[in-house]
Every structure is written in structure tokens, then in C-alpha cells.
Chain A
């Protein structure tokens, strides 16, 4: 396993991994880092409780191939809406691919309306924490254009 936090080589577009604004969980982030690295991506793991300003600053600094927001504390929907709204408002970050996943509500998985709202706010994909969603996430990784040559 690579040491944390991993830093990408210059000129190489990493994947940015971030916990929800108020979410202190980290095993999900460690798992995502390993999964992404195994798919050939370099990872910048921002850790838990990532505020919008930090995510925006890191996204501007790294120009990531993908931003992955992961949350399991039940605030994922509300935190995720705030994050992506701020991100998409920022000049230069309107088109960076961004996805969110995990346990996103306090009463279980998000409903179709909430998933649609998250997509409308700017996420390219929304995943729950099921095995099917992990498989779908992996399929999506395979379609990303930017992969490190390893």
C-alpha cells in the first residue's frame, strides 16, 4: 500500500478522494484509494471532513481526472449538494467529472428524487453502498480517459 497522502507526479491527472464535509469516517476513503490505485489511477486522498473551499483549492491545484466524494454518516445528501454546488459555481471546475457515493441519508439509501437532485446539482453519477454500486463504480473507472501507465 502506498503511504498517505499519495502525491501525483507532475503532469499526471490524479483522482481526488474526499470525505463529506461533516463525515469523519475513513475506512471508505482507504478502500477507495486502494481500488483506484489498482485501476491505474494516482490518488490524492484528502481524508475526512473536507470543506468545500479545500476541495475547490485541491481541485484547482491538481486538475483531477475525477473527484470522488464518499460519505457514510447520513449527511451525504446535504453535504454532497453543498459541495457540488460550490464546485460547479467555480470557474474552471464546471466540467471536471465528479461522483458521490456511500450511505447518503440518515434513513437508508437515497430515493430516486434525491439521486436526481444530486445529479441535477452537478454529480455525473450517484452510487449507494451496495455491491452492485461498487461494480458500477469500477465499470465507470474503466471508461475514464486519464489513466497512469503502470
Chain B
């Protein structure tokens, strides 16, 4: 009987402020919550330490490390929000949504239409206050999710995948359309900017940094935004733990395991799926706003399907069905797979003089015949971005083959609302991910 790590009893997760544990169960729950927190912290510190080594090894100083850490933390937070949202849909409920990028785009573009100042250069908005834009972005993302979910949920699980992928491409093509943007500007006075992208409202933290800390310190402004994002990550994590442990969450897990059984227990599983799909899509919209919407400018290219697959890889590494796993998966994905190879490539190319890389694969392979490996290595480092994608693909396949439950994806859930036993770390009795 292993329990999902973060679902360590309702009291611990729900009420972290209680300093004095009153009974054994509360102590246990707090301990488990601490274990979760510790896992995330250790992973985070490990990746930070690794990058400190990377940065110093490539001969850069503290300044480079600071901006590297800000960039890493920004991506951690962005992927954590998205993978938590995806985990709610896929990990908890088994809804296979591969249109994450599309829902992000809906959030960002809605926010842009409402909150970008009307005098912006590219694209134009209504200039409403930012909170209205953000909330509206989440609501519209949820509504688009509803449109996708209502019909698609009647279909086979993999049809939902294809429908959501198609929908996200439709959304991207719509945002990319110059015709539509021109027409809406002429008719309503706001537009999406088409393929050349659109300006976005500035981060609200920027003015705070300028007033109280230093003017025009872009690193400080970015760091301040990262702190806001981390706040959102914690809030969403808390929300999803609450959802997962509620009766609502137990129905979701029941749907994932066997929808027919959940139905025969009198649950309207379709309605549950629709609600959870909408909630997840709203959070994806929020994730899009926190990530792409915070960068003063956005173009449809930021919402290619590959972004969805990044989020998927993060969730799969962490283990679907575990919120802690989603956060850890995001950290590992960004640190080891996304940023790591590039940084490592920089170190190698600065440490070893491999000569100028050959322009084509033929030029790289030919010297191999006379056992000259330097041009090939230089070619690989020159094409590190392609190499990174290959690595991603291989990692994905290996995880699915060897450890489909990821790092923390325990599929055995306690049926009882109270905690019946301690979790065995890494104990996996669950099956695979097919639903």
C-alpha cells in the first residue's frame, strides 16, 4: 500500500501553517510534506550546483552565473506551471491533451488583445488593466478547452490527442494570419499582429524594481518576475494538491483507472472530465501568460507543437500523476535536457580547440575515414540544438520503455481519505500509462 507522496494526508497538505503537530497523523503528514519539499529542493540545488560548475568551467564569472540562474529559474517556473496543469489533465484524469501550446497561445493573445495599450506599434489592444487581461485569458482558454473537450471526450483516447493537436495548430495559424489581424484592426481597433507578432504590456514588477531598486537593471527586473512566477507555482501546486485530495480528485483518479467503474458508481464522468479539462486549460493559459506573456513581445512561433512536447517530456520524466513529480520533472528537463547540452557544448568548444566546424555532414564524416574525429565533434557542437532534440527523443523513448511511471509516478492510490501508511520511496506497483 504505497501512497502518492504529495497526498500525504489531508491535514498536512491543507494546513501547512499549523506549527504544533497535535497527533501522530499530523506529524506523519508534515514529515511527508517535508519529504516532498526536500525532494524538490535537492533537485533544484543539484541543478544549480551543476550549472555553477558549468559556468566556472567555461571561464565565466559571477555575472554570467547570475543571469544563467535567472534564466534557469524562469524556465523552471514556466515549465512547472504548465506541467502541473498537464498533470491534472493527463496524470490525474487520463485526458491526453497535446494542444498545450494552443491553450497557452489563447491565454497570451487574449491578454494581449485586452491589455496591450492601444498605441502599441505592432498589433493593438484595448489597454484594459492587466489583471482583467490575465483573468480573461484564463477564462477564454478554459472556454476553448470546453469547445475541444465536449465533443472529443466521446471519442477514443488517442482521438482527443489528434483533435487537440489539430486545434492548437488552428489557433497558431489563426494568430499567424495577417488577413485576420488587418481585418480586426480595421473593424474593431485591435489585432493580433499576424506573423510578425504583437507587443505585450510590460511586467508589473518592472516599475517596482525601477522605483525601489535600480533603474534599467534588466536582470533585476527579470529576477523580480521569476519570484512572482515561483509564487504562482506554489499557489498552483497547493491548489492541485487540494483538488487531488478532494472527493472530486478521487473521482478523477477513478476515471483514469477505469471509467466504466466510475460510471457505474453513479458518477457523471463526462461532466467531471469536462470540468477538469477546463481547469487544466485555464492553468495552461495562465502558464502561457506567465511565460510568453511576460516577455514584452510574442509571435505565433512561440506556440509550435514542440512546446507541448517539451511540457510532456517534463511530466513524463517526473512521473504522470504526481504533482511533485511534475515540478521535479520540469527542473530536470530544463536543467539537463534543455539548457544542459548547450552549456556543455560551450564548455567543450572553449576548452578544446577543434578548429572551425565543417559546414555539412559530408565534410564532418569524411575525416572520420582517416580517424580524424575533431571535425565531427566540432560539427556536433556546432549543431548542438539538433543534437539536443535527438537526445530528447531518445530519452523519451527510453523512459517509455524502461520506466513509464517516471520518477515519482505512483499509480497506486489509497482509497481511504486518511493516510494508512508511509510511502515507500520509489516503490512502484502501478502499471503503465495506457488509459
A and B associate in one complex: no
* Contacts from B to A (Cβ < 8 Å): none
